[in-house]
Amino acid sequence: MATVNPRKPTDSKGRKLSIHVVTWNVASAAPPLDLDELLQLNNQNLNLDMYVIGLQEKNCGIMSLISDTAFEDSWSSFFMDVLSPLCFVKVSCVRMQGLLLLVFAKYQHLPFIQILSTKSTPTGLFGYWGNKGGVNICLKLYGYYVSIINCHLPPHMANNDQRLEHFDRILEMQNFEGQEIPNILDHDLILWFGDMNFRIEDFGMQFVREAIKNQCYCDLWEKDQLSIAKKCDPLLREFQEGPLLFPPTYKFDKNTNNYDTSEKKRKPAWTDRILWRLKRQPQAEPHTSRQLAPHFLLSLRSYISHMIYSISDHKPVTGTFDLELKPLVSAPLITLIPEGLWTMENDMLISYSLTADFLSSPWDWIGLYKVGLRHINDYVSYVWVRDNQVFSSDRLNQVYINISNVPETEDKFLLCYYSNSLHSVVGISKPFKIQPRTFLGEDPLGEAQPQI
């Protein structure tokens, strides 16, 4: 697979991106009616740029899997319905049985997000069954390598060694043989989250529940299996996590905020976690000067659970991050220009220019979208860049696109150039309007106007 080549900085200005990460074991439940708090839609101070959403135990019955192969699954559709009016587009997704990972971004970031790989790593039933394991999306974000992993590790108190083994196995399986992608440990950022199923050791049920009731969470931290493992495992120690200042998120009676009252009476635990790892910078040799690494800093703004949601025996957990970076890629590979005044005629002209290092393909296409598109296949019309080409040079290319079937509307539109070899949008136009036929040739007062 071709990749965008340059790693050298092309933009001296810094950029800040706000990323909201969601992890939730939904226990086969359908989406609730309102997810505003989960997605922080009422927090106008966030001004988010990306959503990263990981679900576990999504309904994976045979009828659900068959339906989802033909249609969007209910959770993906719900998130798209909520986020697309806010100018978020589904960039990529990957599913393995009950595991679902979704990435959304505001449309202006699309030319700077290159999807490099999606991967599923089953670890259940001797490594062949996907009820446990991890799903990964590897992408380039403004030239930086980012890997996103949603996982579901083995349950039960006694299986801690198995959880750590699966953690290592999922990480080891994130190889990219035959592709110009570095090892995952050389990626600039790894976001790793999911139902990790780590438990609280030693303390009895009564002590744990009293500590939770009194919000004395620090009394439980020292016996949290993940916290203990991070002190001993050199690689796990490189992953950071925010403070656990919220109640354990497992296990609840469904449709309540009561911890498990069944016969099993599972002990509460922080099973649902969000971790991250920034690439280690090489140490400078003594008495030598070292070029400063590109600016790339991730800071945690909030790490919370959401107790209002009770459709599952788990509570969802979210982490909101600010990512400060100096873009290694600051100009899109394609610059799109809708020529002249667009009206409801049969064919309209699109001009676009390519950067010197971009190789177009006969399978590249340009889509016409309404602002508020849900995903890249949500086009109103499209054209193959080679089929309807009318002009081509080193600096400028022109194609015609048919919009005769586009309904007259007051909506704004966008043009997106999709690269087949890069599996990504590499150029996007500014929003524009298409004038209705009734205004062609006359103004609202009925006076003739010159044709454009």
Q: What is the CATH number of the domain that holds 405?
A: 2.60.40.2840
In a domain, 2, yes or no: no
pLDDT value at residue 71: 57
In a domain, 50, yes or no: yes
CATH of the domain at 164: 3.60.10.10
In a domain, 181, yes or no: yes
239 and 306 fall within a common domain: yes
In a domain, 5, yes or no: no
* Residue 40 predicted with pLDDT over 50: yes
202 and 339 fall within a common domain: no
pLDDT value at residue 38: 98
Across 133-148, average pLDDT: 96
Across 212-227, average pLDDT: 96
Of 182-196, 209-223, 290-304, the one with minimum mean pLDDT is 290-304
Domain region containing 355: 334-439
Which of 325, 356, 377 terminates a domain? The answer is 325
378 and 300 fall within a common domain: no
358 and 304 fall within a common domain: no
Sign of CA dihedral 177, 182, 184, 185: positive
Distances (CA, A) of 76 to 71, 112, 119: 10, 23, 18
* Residue 357 predicted with pLDDT over 70: yes
% of the chain with per-residue pLDDT over 90: 70
The span from the CA of 404 to the CA of 28, in Å, is 44
Strands 144-152 and 189-195: parallel
- Which band of pLDDT confidence, cut at 50, 70 and 90, is reported for residue 447? very low
pLDDT value at residue 318: 98
- Which band of pLDDT confidence, cut at 50, 70 and 90, is reported for residue 448? very low
State both tokens at 158.
């006694």
Burial class (CB in 10 A: 0-12, 13-18, 19+), 200: buried
Contact residues for 446 (Cβ-Cβ < 8 A; gap 6+): none
pLDDT value at residue 269: 98
State both tokens at 320.
């909101």
Contact residues for 179 (Cβ-Cβ < 8 A; gap 6+): 1, 3, 116, 117
As for how many domains the chain has, the answer is 2
364 and 237 fall within a common domain: no
Strands 381-384 and 317-325: unpaired
In a domain, 378, yes or no: yes
* Residue 72 predicted with pLDDT over 90: no
pLDDT tens column, 248-284: 999 999 999 999 999 989 999 999 999 999 997 655 4
319 and 343 fall within a common domain: no
pLDDT value at residue 175: 81
248 and 225 fall within a common domain: yes
pLDDT value at residue 130: 58
353 and 296 fall within a common domain: no
- Which band of pLDDT confidence, cut at 50, 70 and 90, is reported for residue 178? low
In a domain, 187, yes or no: yes
Q: Cis peptide before 254, with omega less than 30 degrees from 0? A: no
In a domain, 451, yes or no: no
343 and 317 fall within a common domain: no
* Residue 300 predicted with pLDDT over 80: yes
More confident call, 55 vs 394: 55
Sign of CA dihedral 285, 287, 289, 295: positive
pLDDT value at residue 64: 52
pLDDT tens column, 421-446: 999 999 999 998 887 765 445 444 44
Mean of the per-residue pLDDT values of the chain = 87
Ordered alpha helix ranges (H), 46-122: 62-70, 74-83
The span from the CA of 132 to the CA of 219, in Å, is 30
Burial class (CB in 10 A: 0-12, 13-18, 19+), 121: buried
In a domain, 449, yes or no: no
48 and 128 fall within a common domain: yes
* Residue 338 predicted with pLDDT over 80: no
348 and 254 fall within a common domain: no
The span from the CA of 397 to the CA of 232, in Å, is 58
pLDDT tens column, 81-91: 999 999 999 99
Of 130-144, 175-189, 277-291, 317-331, the one with minimum mean pLDDT is 277-291
More confident call, 129 vs 242: 242
- DSSP SS3 for 31: coil
pLDDT value at residue 406: 81
317 and 342 fall within a common domain: no
